[in-house]
Amino acid sequence: MNIIVIGASGFIGNHIYTMGKNDGHLVLGTTNSKRNIDLVAFNMVSDEIKNILTLNFTTDPANTICIICAAISKIDFCVIDNVYSEKINVHATIRLIEELSSLGIKVVFLSTDYVFDGKDGGYSEEDHVNPITEYGRQKVKIEKFIMDTSSSNLIVRLSKILGDNQDYLHPFSEWYKQITKKETIYCIKDQIFSPTFVGDVYKGIIALINKRCTGVYHLANSEIFSRERLISLFIEKIGMKTEIVEKELKDFYFIDNRTLKSYLNSTKFQNEVGLNFTKMSDIAERFAANAVQLRA
């Protein structure tokens, strides 16, 4: 398989890029903000995708997929600079999808649980989207564009994504820094999500592609955690202590809203590919082991 990863310098994108190469696929990764000799410079706003693709990708489009990981995902920034975030997350993304479609390349678009309002939780692919954040509204615009213009592309909705080391910014690495500094960890009370290992995102996408799946799928662990419970699990596995304080959402003074019950129902995905998701306790244990090695 030929894989193009747009945004391969980010947390999810880099794992997809690296795991794809390790599996023997021909992988091309792009970057816009970080220098990496393995990645190709690509500006979604001004560059054309065809100008960075080698013949291996353009002459065999039926065997090529493009996974769009690049996005401005900071919730408050999407409101603070709505013009710029819309430029990247909507207009540039639509232009890229149109260019890929003209080349006959299948698109895999990474979306989010933030397309829902978070009032109920357990959302399936058939549930009505109702975003309460600008970031979620921008994702919905792309989902709608894809569903209105193509029946062959794939939309993969994700929940909270975590890793097993400190190389990238994700909840475990953030909490670990706070724990080592003996800082109190403040978390939103009653916020519930479906934490999923970043490596499972890659495995799930490849499984969906191999099954020739199209449309919308929720790629999310069936384990459901409140933020406080997940932090407590992590602290237990790390073997260190710090104080956890739950606060009401209103007490954080965010600029934009936050969803509370955003966990996803992944039954459709599981019925299609049957992936065994990695348990959060195992990821926390692996993080702890990696942290010990770094300290040694």
- Whether 185 maps to a domain, the answer reads no
Q: What is the reported pLDDT for 294?
A: 57
- Structural domain includes residue 191: no
> What is d(CA 85, CA 76) in angstroms, rounded to the nearest whole number?
10
> 233 in a domain, yes or no?
no
- Residue 59 is predicted with a pLDDT of 86
Each residue's pLDDT expressed in tens, for the chain with a length of 296 residues: 999 999 999 999 999 999 999 999 999 999 987 667 789 999 999 999 999 998 888 888 889 999 999 999 999 999 999 999 999 999 999 999 999 999 999 999 999 999 999 999 999 999 999 999 999 999 999 999 999 998 899 999 999 999 999 888 999 999 999 999 999 999 999 999 999 999 999 999 999 999 999 999 999 999 999 999 999 999 999 998 899 999 999 999 999 999 999 999 999 999 999 999 999 999 999 999 998 765 54
pTM: 0.95
Instruction: Specify the residue for token string 């190469």.
Output: 21
Give me the half-sphere count of Cα atoms (radius 13 Å) on the Cβ side of residue 205.
Answer: 33
149 within domain boundaries: yes
Domain carrying residue 273: 2-163+196-222+262-278
pLDDT at 58: 84
Overall domain count for the chain: 1
- What pLDDT is recorded for position 34? 66
Residue 38: the pLDDT is 87
Residue 239 lies in a domain: no
In a domain, 295, yes or no: no
Q: How far is CA 36 from CA 7, 50, 51, 192, in A?
A: 12, 20, 19, 36
Q: In this structure, is residue 179 part of a structural domain?
A: no
Question: Can you give the pLDDT at residue 29?
Answer: 96
pLDDT of residue 60: 86
> Could you tell me the CATH number of the domain that includes residue 7?
3.40.50.720
**For residue 9, what are the contacts with CB-CB under 8 A and spacing of at least 6?**
29, 31, 32, 33, 34, 36, 39
pLDDT of residue 71: 96
Specify if 54 maps to a domain.
Answer: yes
